[in-house]
Chain A
Amino acid sequence: MKKVLFLIYIIVIAPFCCRAQSGGLFSLNQTANGTITLPPLQDLRVTALNNTGISFEGAKDFANGKHVNSQYQLKVLSNIPWYISVRASDPVLTALTPTTPRDIPVSIVRLKPSTASSYINLSTAAQTLMVSENNNLENTYYIDMKFDPSWTLPGGSYNIPLEFTLSPQ
């Protein structure tokens, strides 16, 4: 009988005592549950850093092409891999003055990220300008431009119909 009582103690009671001792003198719990819903999200902010316009100031600009560093700032915010494409929304530069005799094709405009070495020629077809290359949620890039007009193109003031698009890879 004594052995039976002792066995009952060992099997039933002792584990509870040990459990209490391992958690300190007492331990009380309460729990709150929550949810996070995180969809794929992307945002692109384009800022023209030079708002005064781009001027051709001499024959050299025509002969060698006009370089403009960091013409645009692109701020990318994305929680998924991404790429940015660029296209012209119109095949020609938009003349701002009615006396301008004819339009200039957008192909004289070339762009590249400031960290890249080669330009792409602007066209109405979307071209990949850059792809995500790190695991940062936010990235800031600068876009260089180059203009290669021929001597035969007419003078005047023009708008560049640029369109940047941020897309998931």
Chain B
Amino acid sequence: MKLPFSILFSICVLTLYSGTSYAQAANPDNNITLTVNQPLVFSYNFADELVHDKIINNALELKVRSAQYNTNIYATLSLIGGDISQFAQQISLRLRNKTSISAATGSANTDIYLANTPVLLFYQPRMIDNTPYYSFYYDVVMHPFTYQVRPGTYNFSILFTMTQP
């Protein structure tokens, strides 16, 4: 069966239209920038450290601009070359400060435990003032280890994702 060119063209246009959001990913009105203020390095020298929190204060600053859309910000933990399951309930982000008064972040100083699936950090409604961006400052907390975490060197990454709800 031979489709008329007009139909094919319409399909193309419709698909492109629905995909315009892809172009919006680069929209300067909605973006996220991460600044690592303190290196995320956790070193252990004494056994006693294994059973106490280790905190890197003010480690991360997330700059969020949401001038066009409401946004959700998620974080996902991944372990590079290791079994992520042994780090369940191990690493959390603790909101230390923020410049947004409209973000739904939950209580300050509450730990948000990271996992290998996206965890919602906060909801930021569309900005209504002329602020260029809102800043969110996070401590990174390493919680007491379990015996299941074997001695070694582990590399991890925290992926921050901004999406439209």
* B-binding residues in A (CB < 8 A): 2, 6, 9, 13-14, 16-21, 23-43, 77-80, 135-138
Contacts and interface: CB of A to CB of B under 8 A. Distances in A.
Interface string B42-76: 11111111110000000010100000010000000
Contacts, number: 157
Given A31-B158, A36-B156, A25 B43 contact: no
A103 to B, nearest CB: 36
B51 A29 contact: no
B81 to A, nearest CB: 12
A20 B161 CA distance: 15
Contacts of A23: 163
B112 interface: no
B157 A137 contact: no
Interface of B: 5, 8, 12, 15-16, 18-19, 21-22, 24-25, 27, 30-34, 36, 39-51, 60, 62, 69, 140, 142, 144-164
A43 B161 contact: no
Contact of A37 (B21, B60, B153, B157): B153
Nearest to A19: B22
Contacts of A35: 40-42, 153-156
Nearest to B42: A36
Determine the main DSSP class of A at the interface with B: mixed
The 7 closest A-B pairs by CB, nearest first: A34-B40, A20-B22, A17-B19, A43-B47, A30-B34, A41-B47, A25-B21
A2 B11 CA distance: 14
Contacts of A24: 21, 163-164
Given A37-B44, A38-B149, A43-B47, A30 B33 contact: yes
